[in-house]
Structure 1
Amino acid sequence: MRRRNTTSKEAVLSVLTNARKAMSQDAIEREMDVDANRATIYRILNRFCEDGIVHKIVADDGKQYFAVCVKCDDKAKLPDNHFHFRCTNCQTIECLPALVHFSVPTGYKVGSLNCVLIGVCSDCS
């Protein structure tokens, strides 16, 4: 289905693209140059997720963050279900630019993952 392009959608995508990091709904709303209520922004973000434009990260604080995955240019190397990193110093949440390997016990099959590693990022260390 073709979706209508609106100024609110353009503003949300512009904020996320320019940020080059994951952002929460309230942070996106603060950065937007057009008026849109919370429900509209969440609806836009969820449609962007459905359409594969952005992806959602649920961090260790339980908050949802959304990102245009700018470090994931090579989709052959980095799958949609990849690890993220939250810096305890600058509070940035970003996609890790390389695969993180993990294993699960025999008999378990991973269908998807939501993993945020926490520590100090390369910019802050």
Structure 2
Amino acid sequence: MKRRNTPAKDAILSLLTDTGKAMSQDAIEKKMDMNMDRATIYRVLNRFCEDGILHRIVAEDGKQYFAVCVKCDEKILADHHFHFRCTLCKTIECLQVPVQFSLPKGYQVERVNCVLTGVCKDCA
């Protein structure tokens, strides 16, 4: 389904693309130059996820982060890579590492959520 372009969609996508890191809804809300309510931001983020423009990362604390994975290899599905969460600067970034695992016979993977936690290269 073709969705119409709006200033809110453009602003959110530009912000996520420019940062190159995953951001939570509240972080996006704080960084927005335009006045946009929480419901609009969530609606846009969820539609971007449905359309495959963003992917959702759920950290170990249960908080959701959203990212445009500009560094990801096109051959790897957006949901099939690791993320790294820095305990010092609190950023989450996509890692160019494909997820490799094996499952018992009969299981089929649809989505992967792998978040590694530690200190990033910038804070080390």
**Normalising to structure 1: TM-score of the pair?**
0.88
Give, in angstroms, the shift of residue 124 of structure 1: 2.3
Stretch of structure 1 that moved more, 5-14 or 107-116: 107-116
Question: Identity percentage over the alignment?
Answer: 67
Give the letter aligned to residue 4 of structure 1: R
Give, in angstroms, the shift of residue 15 of structure 1: 1.0
SS of 1:95 mapped into structure 2: strand
Between the aligned partners of 2:12 and 2:111, the Cα distance in structure 1 is 26
Residue in 2 that maps onto 1:20 = 20
Between the aligned partners of 1:13 and 1:22, the Cα distance in structure 2 is 12
1:55–1:67 Cα contact (<8 Å) kept: yes
**Normalising to structure 2: TM-score of the pair?**
0.89
Between the aligned partners of 2:53 and 2:28, the Cα distance in structure 1 is 16
Residue in 2 that maps onto 1:121 = 120
How many residue pairs get matched? Answer: 123
In 2 relative to 1, CA 103–29 (structure 1 residues): closer, same or farther, beyond 3 Å? same
Is structure 2 residue 9 aligned with structure 1 residue 3?
Answer: no
2:56–2:65 Cα contact (<8 Å) kept: yes
Residue in 2 that maps onto 1:94 = 93
Give, in angstroms, the shift of residue 23 of structure 1: 0.2
Q: Which runs of 5+ in 2 are unaligned?
A: none
Compare the two structures and name the one with the higher strand fraction.
Answer: 2
2:84–2:117 Cα contact (<8 Å) kept: yes
Residue in 1 that maps onto 2:62 = 62
SS of 1:83 mapped into structure 2: strand
Q: Which runs of 5+ in 1 are unaligned?
A: none
Between the aligned partners of 1:107 and 1:51, the Cα distance in structure 2 is 29
Residue in 2 that maps onto 1:83 = 82
1:8–1:35 Cα contact (<8 Å) kept: no
SS of 1:65 mapped into structure 2: strand
